[in-house]
Amino acid sequence: MSSVSPSTVLPLYPTMTTTKQTHCLQPERLALLIDKSKAIKHLTQIHAFVIRHGLESHPVLNFKLQRSYCSLGRPEHSVSLFNRTQNPNVFFYTAIIHGHAINDLHEQGFLFYVQMLSEDVEPNAFTLSAVLKACPLEARKALHCQVLKLGLESDTYVRTALVDVYTKGGDIISARKLFDTMPEQNLVSLTAMITGYTKNGLVDEARVLFDGMEQRDVVSWNVMIDGYAQNGRPNDALILFRQMLKAKMKPNEATLLAVLSACGQVGALESGRWIHSHMQYNGILVDARMGSALVDMYCKCGSLEDARMVFDGIKDKDSVAFNAMIVGYAIHGFSQEALELFNNMCGIGLNPTEITFIGILSACAHAGLVSEGWSVFNAMKDQYGIKPKVEHYGCMVSLLGRAGQLEEAYKLVNSMNNDADPVLWGTLLGACTLHRNIHMGEKIVELLIERGLANSGTYVLLSNLYASVGNWDGVARVRAMMKQSGVQKEPGCSSIEVNNKVHEFLAGDLKHPKCKEIYVMLKEISGWLKGHGYLPQTEVVLHDIGETEKEKSLEVHSEKLAIAFGLISTQPGTTIKIVKNLRVCPDCHAVTKLISKITGRKIVVRDRNRFHHFVDGSCSCDDYW
C-alpha cells in the first residue's frame, strides 16, 4: 500500500475529529466513508486515518476496507489486511473470495475457499455463489455435491452460479436442467442462461429466452447483442441494438463496444459513425479501450482517415490502441505506415505484443516485403522473446507464398512438425493455386489426408487449383468427393450499406427489391466497359462451360451487383464501400478499376484478405493481392 501521511486525511474529511465527545462515532462515520469511496487515493487516506487512530483491528472497518480494496482493483491490499485478521469468519472469507473473482484471480480465490474449509469455517450461500465464479472447471462437480450436502441448491444465487459454471465448461445440457428446475427464475438467472447459450454458439436458443423475458436491463440487452456479434451475425446485432434504442434503454460502454464490433464485421460505416456521434453527444470518454474499438471499426469499414483521427486523439495510448491502428494499416495494404507506427510504438517504450507482430507481418505479406518480414519474424523471437504462434507462421507462409517462394514456405510449415494446422497448410495450398503449382498442391493434400487434417477447405482449394490449369477431370474427381462427403463450397456474398441499411447480394441474385434497376445498370456498365476495351477474364471461371456462359457468369458476380446497386442508390461522387466474404477475383478487380475511372467514384472493396481502394482506374494493392 502506498504511504500516505495521516495528517493529509483531515482536510478532506473535516467532520473527523479526535475529541472524546465524537470518538465513539468515528467507526460508523469511517465505515460510511469507506463505502462511499470511489478512488484508491481516497481509500488509502481513510486507511491511514484508521491506523493513526488505532482502529486497524476494528472488525467492521477491517472488513469494509478489504472489500473496497478489491472493488477498486487492489486485491493485494485486501490480502494483506485479511492475513492480519484474527480468526476470520465466513463473511471475511466470502468477501476475499468474491474480491478475487471480480478481479479474474480465480485460482487464488479458490485457494482461499480451500483454506476456509481447512479451518472448519462453514460456507453459506453467498460464499458458494462467490467461489463458483472463481472455481476451476474440474472442481465444479465437487462443489455441486457440496451445495447439495449443505442444502443450498434451491438458493437462487447459488443455482445461478452453478448454471454459469456448467455453461463455461460447455455442459449446456446440465446448465439448462439446473435452470429449468430453479424455484424462481429472475433477471439475473435468465441473463446467466442467455450468456451460457451465446458463449456456446447457441444464439437462437438464447434469443428464445431473451424474447420471453418480462423485463430486461442493459446487461441482458448487451449479452444478446454481443452474442450475435461474437457468433458471426453482425446484422442481427445491429437490428437488436435499434430495438434496444426504441425500447428507451440507454446503452452503456459494453453495448457500444459490441455494436462497434458488429459494425466492423459488416462494414456498416454509417452506423459506426452514428455510434461515435452518440458517444460525443453524451460525453462518453474515448479512452484507450473505447478509442481502440473505434479505430478498429473505422479501419474495417474502410475509413482510414477517421481511424487515424480517433487514434491521434487518444490520450495515454496503450499497446491495444497501437495494435488496432497497425492492423488497420496492414489490412488496407499501407505497409510503410504500419512499419512506421510500429517503430513509433517501440520508440515511446511500449512493448509490442503477439497481435502487433501479426499486424506487421500481415503488412509485409500484402506488399511482398520478404526481407522485412523475415527481419520482423526473427526480431519477434530473438529481441522481444515472443514465441511465434500459428498465426505468425501463417503470415510468413502468406508472405512467402504470394512472393512465389513456395519451397521456402513449405520448409517453414514443415519446421513446425505437428504444430501446423489445416489453416496453415490451406494458406500454402492457396499459394499453389495462385502460382499454379500442381505438384506441390497435390503433395500438400496427400499429407493432409494422411494426417487426418483434410477439411472442406482442402477440397475446395484443390478443385480451384485443378480448374486454374484447365484440368477438368481433376475438378470432377474432387467435386465428386466433395458431394460424397457433403462438403459445399461457400457461395460468394457481397454487402453494401446504404441509408443505414446493409444490403446483401449473392452471385446472380434476383431477390433484391430493386433487382430490375440493378440489372439495367449492369447492362449500362457492360457498355461502358466495352467502350474502354475491356475483355472478360474468363479463365477465372472455375467451371467447364463455354466462353459465352463464362462471360455471363462473370457479369453477375456478387460484388458487381453490389456496385451497381451503389451507383443507382447514392449521389454522384459518393464513395462506394463493398464487403465481400471471399477473395475478389481478377476479373472483378479489373472491372472495378475501370468503373472507378469511368464514374469518377472511389470504390473501396474489403475482401477476405484485405482492402482495395479503387481510384481513377488504379488500385491501392498495385495488383498484388
Averaged pLDDT for residues 150-162:
80
533 within a domain of the structure (yes/no):
yes
Span 337-380, pLDDT tens digits? 999 999 999 999 999 999 999 999 999 999 999 999 999 999 99
Averaged pLDDT for residues 481-507:
84
3-state helix, strand, coil in the chain (%, to 5): 65, 5, 30
pLDDT band at 263 (very low <50, low <70, confident <90, very high): very high
Q: What is the pLDDT of residue 248?
A: 93
50 within a domain of the structure (yes/no):
no
pLDDT of 166 > 50? The answer is: yes
Q: What is the pLDDT of residue 154?
A: 77
371 within a domain of the structure (yes/no):
no
Average pLDDT, the chain: 86
Averaged pLDDT for residues 236-256:
94
Span 122-139, pLDDT tens digits? 888 888 777 777 666 667
Going from the C-alpha of 491 to that of each of 528, 543, 581, the distances in angstroms are 28, 14, 9
pLDDT of 235 > 70? The answer is: yes
pLDDT of 6 > 50? The answer is: no
596 within a domain of the structure (yes/no):
yes
203 within a domain of the structure (yes/no):
no
473 within a domain of the structure (yes/no):
no
Domain that residue 551 falls in: 493-619
Looking at per-residue confidence, does 491 or 250 come out higher?
Answer: 250
Half-sphere exposure of residue 235: CA atoms within 13 angstroms, side-chain side: 7
pLDDT band at 2 (very low <50, low <70, confident <90, very high): very low
Judged by average pLDDT, the poorest of 15-24, 81-90, 214-223 is 15-24
pLDDT of 518 > 60? The answer is: yes
The total domain count for the chain is 1
CB 343 within 8 A of CB 379: no
580 within a domain of the structure (yes/no):
yes
- DSSP output for 156-215: HHHHHHHHHHHHHTT-HHHHHHHHHT-S---HHHHHHHHHHHHHTT-HHHHHHHHHT-S-
SS3 category, 482: helix
Q: What is the pLDDT of residue 140?
A: 67
Query: Facing residues of 503 across strands?
Result: 496
Span 7-23, pLDDT tens digits? 333 333 334 444 343 44
The percentage of residues in the chain with a pLDDT greater than 70, rounded to a whole number, is 92
13 within a domain of the structure (yes/no):
no
- DSSP output for 396-423: HHHHHHHTT-HHHHHHHHHTTGGG--HH
Q: What is the pLDDT of residue 539?
A: 63
